[in-house]
């Protein structure tokens, strides 16, 4: 017993020494951190002596099981990336908003695409009617992508793209635009969402059936492991599962179960776990129920580390670390008294920060009504800047760690998740659970329960079912240019007329035969976009070869 105790003490001393060495290379933001009263702020709060229980459950930040965070210094070293999701209308208009956000101190880009792009239709497709440029930017071809990223240094800015079914196409465009800027694919960094399973479960922008979809995903894993090493090849997302109405435990469980399915698919495709696992990223929801959210993020890290180590035998620390982006919960915003949403967002964002998020999107107050205006988008960004710079919560690592309540909740969420994972394993894994509609049903049930609680008043929503206003003021809203679809179609027509049609057809045919076979599709898709094949044409070929998913 005494020897063990000494071991933990030694481990702690080693951790301290390692951390000091790290700080020499990557200094913390200040030499010394102090409270307003002049009290020294410790890098890490911890029990007087570290015992087995502590080391097994919490460990030290930057070390297995990463409950307390994935870096030893966390935000004392570097603040999370402030990454506001934006995109609307035309590529030119969105480019202006991006440059505005970068000027305002945002540190990463996050692209919202319109629905036709996300579902692989060109702007002139019949299915695209009314949808062009509405929920994001319309991208038909490389031409639009070049306009979207004009004058943005792709070797410096990291870009997250919310794109799933056609993720390969948009990533290919990004690679080619960078290449034209003189930036190699090895230098670019960013994330594609590329998480098709949650599309079937909760978000709805699927195109192909599960099997070929999983192939497209593992093709990206393989291509990027070799050529685009700084790219996060997937962002396994619980966000939309939660938005669709799940509980926090379900959000965590289904996301991790999906993560397991991707790892399985990649291994089955012949990849080595330590080759692709470091580039897996996660995306969670920052919801109400502040303390449960903090526990959720901490539990997520511990669960993933355990799974990667024990189930897959991953060796690299980066394979074991769960890195995640957080967006606060859009579904908790009210259309009534929208200013109150700023307060909701603040509390939710704070939970994400205390949970150790790597990047954060704070919602704008008017998102229950329309896309954000420039003003409301700025307030949303300011909210995280205030947390980062004024609240002081960034001065110490995992400040809530060790709280009886938080640790207990973390343990219970973990137990809940492993129970769900067992159930999903028994069903044959996440892909088969999705095909059986299992997660969809669980989520819907939870959503309906919540609705009933809100309507009965058991759950109070301030300004909506209590503390209502008689006359709601009507705020200014952001409008999309109604002419946009017409203009975008014009642009597309011009492109089709001026590009080399023979090359386009040839590229598409190469893609078709690739799809029939088993070779990696990424290089073929890159060739397609380079010759200005459109998103709709590329996805059209794949639709013909792979078929379409029609729901269950």
Partner 1 sequence: MKKIRVLIAKPGLDGHDRGALVIAQALRDYGMEVIYTGLRQTPQQIVAAAIQEDVDAIGLSCLSGAHNELFPEIVSLLEQRDAGDIIVVGGGVIPWEDIPFLESKGIQKVFTPGTPTKDTAIFIEKAVYERDGIEQSIKEPPKKIDHIGIAVTSLEEALPFYVNQLHLQLEAIEEVVSEGVKVAFLKIGESRIELLEPIGDAGPIASFIRKRGEGIHHIALAADQIEDRLRELSKNGVKLIHDTPVKGAGGANIAFLHPKSAGGVLYELCSKATKEAE
Query: What are the residues binding partner 1 (CB under 8 A)?
Result: 115-116, 118-119, 121, 126-131, 134-135, 199, 202-205, 243-245, 331, 334-336, 368-371, 444, 447-448, 451, 455, 461, 464-470, 474, 477, 480, 551
Q: How far is the CB of 326 from partner 1 (least distance, A)?
A: 19
- Nearer to partner 1 (CB atom), residue 186 or residue 477: 477
- Nearer to partner 1 (CB atom), residue 121 or residue 284: 121
Q: How far is the CB of 294 from partner 1 (least distance, A)?
A: 25
Tokens of 195: 């998480």
Tokens of 191: 């994330």
Cis peptide bond upstream of 295, omega within 30: no
Q: How far is the CB of 452 from partner 1 (least distance, A)?
A: 8
Q: How far is the CB of 334 from partner 1 (least distance, A)?
A: 6
Residue 366, class by beta-carbon neighbours within 10 Å (0-12 exposed, 13-18 middle, 19+ buried)?
buried
| Neighbouring C-beta atoms of residue 422, cutoff 10 Å | 10
Q: How far is the CB of 369 from partner 1 (least distance, A)?
A: 6
Distance (Å, whole) CA 70 – CA 60:
9
* Helix axes of 535-546 and 167-181: crossing angle, nearest 10 degrees: 140
Q: How far is the CB of 466 from partner 1 (least distance, A)?
A: 6
Tell the residue number behind the tokens 């044409």, with chain if given: 537
- Nearer to partner 1 (CB atom), residue 67 or residue 485: 485
| DSSP single-letter state for residue 137 | B
- Nearer to partner 1 (CB atom), residue 3 or residue 456: 456
Q: Residue 380 in contact with residue 345, Cβ under 8 Å?
A: yes
| DSSP single-letter state for residue 425 | H
Q: How far is the CB of 202 from partner 1 (least distance, A)?
A: 8
Q: How far is the CB of 265 from partner 1 (least distance, A)?
A: 22
- Nearer to partner 1 (CB atom), residue 291 or residue 335: 335
DSSP letters spanning 457-484:
TSS--BTTTBS--SS----------TTH
- Nearer to partner 1 (CB atom), residue 104 or residue 336: 336
Length of the chain: 552
Tell the residue number behind the tokens 């470091």, with chain if given: 278
- Nearer to partner 1 (CB atom), residue 14 or residue 481: 481
Nearest by Cα to 235 from 324, 169, 171: 324
Residue 524, class by beta-carbon neighbours within 10 Å (0-12 exposed, 13-18 middle, 19+ buried)?
buried
- Nearer to partner 1 (CB atom), residue 102 or residue 461: 461
Cis peptide bond upstream of 65, omega within 30: yes
Q: For residue 159, what are the β-bridge partners? A: 109, 190
Q: How far is the CB of 482 from partner 1 (least distance, A)?
A: 8
Q: How far is the CB of 552 from partner 1 (least distance, A)?
A: 9
Q: Residue 118 in contact with residue 170, Cβ under 8 Å?
A: no
Distance (Å, whole) CA 277 – CA 232:
10
- Nearer to partner 1 (CB atom), residue 289 or residue 445: 445
- Nearer to partner 1 (CB atom), residue 469 or residue 497: 469
Q: Residue 288 in contact with residue 329, Cβ under 8 Å?
A: yes
């Amino acid at each position: 017993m005494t020897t063990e105790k000494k071991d933990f003490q030694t481990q702690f001393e080693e951790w301290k020494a390692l951390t000091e060495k790290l700080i020499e290379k990557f200094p913390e933001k200040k030499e010394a951190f102090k409270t307003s009263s002049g009290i020294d702020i410790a890098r890490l709060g911890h029990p007087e002596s570290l015992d087995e229980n502590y080391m097994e459950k919490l460990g030290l930040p930057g070390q297995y099981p990463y409950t307390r965070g994935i870096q030893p210094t966390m935000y004392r070293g570097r603040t999370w990336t402030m990454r506001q999701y934006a995109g609307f209308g035309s590529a030119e208009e969105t480019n202006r908003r991006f440059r505005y956000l970068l000027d305002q101190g945002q540190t990463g880009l996050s692209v919202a695409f319109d629905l036709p792009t996300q579902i692989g239709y060109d702007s002139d497709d019949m299915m695209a009617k009314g949808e062009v440029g509405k929920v994001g930017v319309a991208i038909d071809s490389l031409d639009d992508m070049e306009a979207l990223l004009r004058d943005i240094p792709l070797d410096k800015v990291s870009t997250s793209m919310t794109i799933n079914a056609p993720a390969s196409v948009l990533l290919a465009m990004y690679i080619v635009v960078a290449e034209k800027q003189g930036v190699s694919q090895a230098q670019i960094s960013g994330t594609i969402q590329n998480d098709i399973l949650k599309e079937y479960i909760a978000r709805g922008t699927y195109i192909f059936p599960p099997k070929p979809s999983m192939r497209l995903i593992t093709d990206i894993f393989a291509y990027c492991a070799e050529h685009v090493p700084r790219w996060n090849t997937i962002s396994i997302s619980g966000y939309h599962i939660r938005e669709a109405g799940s509980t926090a435990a379900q959000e965590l469980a289904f996301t991790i179960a999906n993560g397991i399915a991707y790892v399985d698919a990649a291994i089955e495709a012949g990849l080595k776990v330590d080759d692709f696992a470091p580039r897996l990223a996660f995306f969670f929801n920052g919801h109400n129920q502040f303390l449960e959210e903090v526990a959720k993020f901490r539990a997520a890290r511990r669960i993933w580390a355990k799974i990667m180590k024990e189930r897959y035998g991953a060796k690299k620390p980066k394979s074991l670390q769960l890195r995640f982006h957080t967006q606060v919960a859009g579904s908790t915003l009210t259309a009534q008294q929208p200013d109150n949403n700023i307060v909701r967002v603040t509390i939710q964002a704070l939970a994400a920060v205390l949970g150790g998020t790597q990047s954060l999107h704070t919602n704008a107050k008017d998102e229950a009504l329309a896309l954000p205006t420039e003003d409301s988008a700025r307030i949303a960004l300011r909210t995280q800047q205030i947390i980062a710079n004024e609240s002081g919560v960034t001065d110490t690592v995992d400040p809530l760690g060790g709280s009886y309540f938080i640790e207990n909740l973390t343990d219970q969420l973990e137990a809940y998740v492993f129970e769900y994972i067992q159930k999903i394993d028994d069903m044959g894994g996440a892909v088969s659970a999705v095909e059986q509609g299992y997660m969809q049903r669980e989520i819907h049930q939870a959503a309906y329960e919540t609705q009933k609680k809100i309507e009965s008043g058991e759950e109070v929503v301030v300004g909506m079912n209590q503390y209502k206003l008689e006359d709601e003021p009507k705020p200014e809203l952001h409008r999309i240019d109604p002419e946009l679809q017409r203009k975008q179609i014009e642009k597309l027509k011009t492109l089709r007329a001026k590009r080399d049609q023979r090359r386009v057809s040839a590229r598409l045919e190469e893609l078709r035969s690739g799809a029939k076979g088993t070779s990696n599709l990424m290089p073929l898709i890159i060739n397609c976009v380079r010759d200005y094949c459109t998103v709709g044409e590329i996805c059209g070929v794949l639709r013909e070869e792979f078929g379409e998913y029609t729901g269950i």
